[in-house]
Structure 1
């Protein structure tokens, strides 16, 4: 009988370089434990962002949402699903809203055993305004969270 420590592992991606490194860890853990790998991407909708007074000159019409969903699904298939081992079980979950809130809610509703995410996604002004999604997820998640740090290139010797 296989281990049942992790049956459902959620890998959360914002398509950053750090998220790509976290994928390697998530797919390996899912394979080793025989777990279903849930690939989760949250499309940010500004209506749910913490700063509601922000002016966004973009209409979130159905066509735009459909195109964004299609692009995210294609990116997941190309960047992640194509790298899974043969017959490795996975599910794709495209959510919309505020990333930390949606990830925590997803983990609660779907009884995830582990969340795997990059430690840093957004940078610059977005990070200052919204803070770290990983930090919020770690504080509020109903299960363990593994944050994967971006590996830095080794410093060259003088």
Structure 2
């Protein structure tokens, strides 16, 4: 009998996008099948604040507070789905290196699940896709989520589920 690959520590980056939502949903399913720990991360990209002249700690606190509420909702959702081992952290800095390098080292991550980028070609050229960077530089397996739970292409249709008429 062949041994199937077993993942023990799965990392998902949550950024509020539809793509990261899909990655989260799939990660919950994968973590359940593998009886793995699900580790959620939200990164406050501090570079976004560099150009704000009134840069103050209150703004960062506000962003952090909102992120905490969101992450707690994700944890609750995962637990409702039957997953016990769910943790999250909020990090500050450049998302690329935190997801690809820091988190795998700190938490023995053996699988990173990440949403396919929503960037168009020009944006990707200018800022480079986080997904692309993680895929190339992570020390562990990376699963780029492009489909919903029914394996239907998520990005092909529209960014958000269509509203009923």
TM-score, normalised via structure 2 length:
0.77
Aligned-pair CA distance for 1:25: 0.8
Whether the 8 Å contact between 2:31 and 2:83 is mirrored in structure 1 is: no
Whether the 8 Å contact between 1:19 and 1:121 is mirrored in structure 2 is: no
Name the CA shift for 1:113/1:137 in 2 (closer, same or farther; >3 Å): same
Rounded to whole Å, the distance in 1 between the matches of 2:123 and 2:89 is 23
Whether the 8 Å contact between 1:14 and 1:121 is mirrored in structure 2 is: no
| Correspondent of 2:157 among 137, 153, 156 | 153
Report the count of equivalent residues. Answer: 145
Higher relative contact order (CA 8 A, sep 6+): 1
Rounded to whole Å, the distance in 1 between the matches of 2:144 and 2:8 is 18
Rounded to whole Å, the distance in 2 between the matches of 1:124 and 1:57 is 27
> Structure 2: which 5+ residue stretches go unaligned?
148-153, 159-165
Whether the 8 Å contact between 2:28 and 2:83 is mirrored in structure 1 is: no
TM-score, normalised via structure 1 length:
0.80
> Structure 1: which 5+ residue stretches go unaligned?
50-54
| Alignment partner of 1:57 is 2:58 | no
Name the CA shift for 1:88/1:130 in 2 (closer, same or farther; >3 Å): same
Rounded to whole Å, the distance in 2 between the matches of 1:33 and 1:81 is 18
Partner of 2:96: 100
Aligned-pair CA distance for 1:10: 0.4
Rounded to whole Å, the distance in 2 between the matches of 1:71 and 1:58 is 22
Name the SS for the 2:112 alignment partner: strand
Between stretches 13-22 and 60-69, larger displacement belongs to 60-69
